[in-house]
Amino acid sequence: MTPLTETAGVARRSRSAVSRAPLHEQVADLLRGLIVTGRLVPGEKLRITALARQLGVSLTPMREALKILAEEQLIELTPNRPTRVAAVTVADTRALFEVMAGIESQAAELAAHRMTPADLARLEALHTEMLQCFCQRDNEAYFALNSQLHDLIVECAGNPILAHVRAKLSLRARRVRFVAVNDGSRREAALAEHERVMAAFRAGDPDEARRAWRIHLLNSGAEVCRILAARDQSPE
* Per-residue pLDDT tens digits for 107-119: 999 999 999 999 9
Closest by Cα among 11, 3, 189 to 85: 3
Task: Check residue 59 and give its pLDDT.
Answer: 93
Residues of the chain short of pLDDT 70, as ranges, are 1-20, 179-185, 234-236
The pLDDT of residue 11 is: 47
Calculate the alpha carbon distances from 22 to 18, 56, 57, 97 in Å. 11, 15, 12, 32
Say what the pLDDT of residue 41 is. Answer: 86
pLDDT score for 132: 94
pTM here is 0.78
Q: Are 48 and 13 in contact (CB under 8 A)?
A: no
Segment (H or E) for 75 = strand 75-76
Please answer whether residues 69 and 31 qualify as being in contact, where contact means their C-beta atoms are separated by less than 8 angstroms: yes
